């Protein structure tokens, strides 16, 4: 049974300080060998995602094929961490991925709005699990959060976590709708104490999505939670991270805030669709000295 702490006493966030510190991570000098290793690590941390109303079985199968054949670009490249799809596409992805080791993640709980009943959200989650989902990406009820009904948000996350069984739960805060860093920190604390395995910035359906200052606030919440409880929580910035250079900035920040123990895809993910292509282009540039055309890689 999870214990509900007093969420009214989450620490206040220094907005100027957070934004200045996040900006400094973008100015770190990275040596070429470290850059190549960082790009490969970032590739291995991607949840390759398609979440559109026009998704088809064929599109999901193509995405899975791409995920399993990155080494076709050149030998030695890792796979991505997971394919992220709607619950109705989980079975298609699971079959296509086979024994590749790539996980299937599924959004659930009336994604992206979260505007539904708890019963429907639980059934949505259980359906995705029954189809083979390894991970569930849920959205919090932002309306309830803004009304100050923090125990409602906590209880709902805890109920979804129970419905997940052995699947890992990523809790999406939709930080672009929360408004302030103080609220991002409070929502992070609620999610972690309620049983989240990951905290995640965004659905990718609204702007702003992930930003470095917001991610920094969430990483510091994870650090403080670990110091208090000894429990590691994973992090997933999602939406708006489409360039390899930006992904490297995020990895610098991750390493400096949480350390080496979080520098793998068990504890950090990028929610992205186009990031993989840019990383592949940058790796080919490092290897050959030439940029490949963007048309060389499939658009997802």
- Of these residues, 134, 137, 189, 197, which one is catalytic? 137
- Of these residues, 121, 170, 183, 200, which one is catalytic? 200
Tokens 């992206």 sit at which residue? Answer: 112
- Of these residues, 103, 121, 236, 278, which one is catalytic? 236
Known active-site residue 236:
yes
HEC per residue, the chain: CCCCCCHHHCCCCCHHHHHHHHHHHCCCCCCHHHHHHHHHHHHHCEEEECCCCCCCHHHHHHHHHHHHCHHHCCCCCCCCCEEEECHHHHHHHHHHHCCCCCEEEEECCCCCCCCCCHHHHHHHHHHHHHCCCCEEEEECCHHHHHCCCHHHHHHHHHHHHHHHCCCEEEEECCHHHCCCHHHHHHHHHHHHHHCCCEEECCCCCCCCCCCHHHHHHHHHHHHHHHHHHCCCCEEECECCCCCHHHHHHHHHHHHHHCCHHHCCCCCECEEECCHHHHHHHHHHHHHHCCCCCHHHCCCC
Give catalytic residue positions. 137, 200, 236
């Amino acid at each position: 049974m999870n214990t509900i702490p007093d969420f009214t006493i989450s620490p206040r966030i220094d907005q100027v300080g957070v934004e200045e510190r996040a900006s400094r991570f973008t100015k770190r000098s990275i040596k070429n060998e470290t850059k190549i290793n960082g790009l490969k690590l970032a590739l291995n941390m991607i949840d390759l995602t398609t979440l559109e109303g026009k998704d088809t079985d064929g599109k999901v199968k193509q995405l899975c094929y791409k995920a399993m054949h990155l080494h076709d670009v050149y030998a030695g490249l890792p796979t991505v961490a997971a394919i992220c799809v709607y619950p109705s596409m989980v079975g298609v992805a699971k079959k296509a991925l086979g024994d590749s080791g790539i996980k299937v993640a599924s959004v659930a709980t009336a994604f992206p709005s979260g505007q539904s009943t708890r019963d429907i959200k639980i059934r949505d989650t259980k359906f995705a699990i029954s189809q083979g989902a390894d991970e569930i990406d849920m959205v919090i009820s932002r309306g309830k959060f803004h009304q100050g009904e923090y125990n409602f948000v906590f209880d709902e996350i805890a109920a979804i976590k129970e419905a997940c069984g052995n699947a890992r739960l990523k809790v999406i805060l939709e930080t672009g709708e929360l408004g302030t860093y103080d609220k991002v920190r409070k929502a992070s604390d609620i999610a972690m104490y309620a049983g989240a395995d990951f905290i995640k910035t965004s659905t990718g359906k609204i702007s702003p999505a992930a930003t470095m200052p917001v991610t920094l606030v969430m990483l510091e919440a994870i650090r403080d939670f670990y110091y208090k409880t000894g429990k590691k929580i994973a992090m997933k910035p999602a939406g708006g991270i489409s360039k390899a250079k930006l992904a490297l900035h995020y990895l610098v920040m991750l390493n400096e805030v949480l350390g080496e123990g979080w520098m793998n895809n068990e504890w950090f993910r990028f929610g992205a669709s186009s990031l993989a292509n840019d990383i592949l282009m940058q790796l080919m540039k490092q290897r050959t000295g030439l940029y490949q055309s963007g048309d060389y890689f499939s658009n997802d």
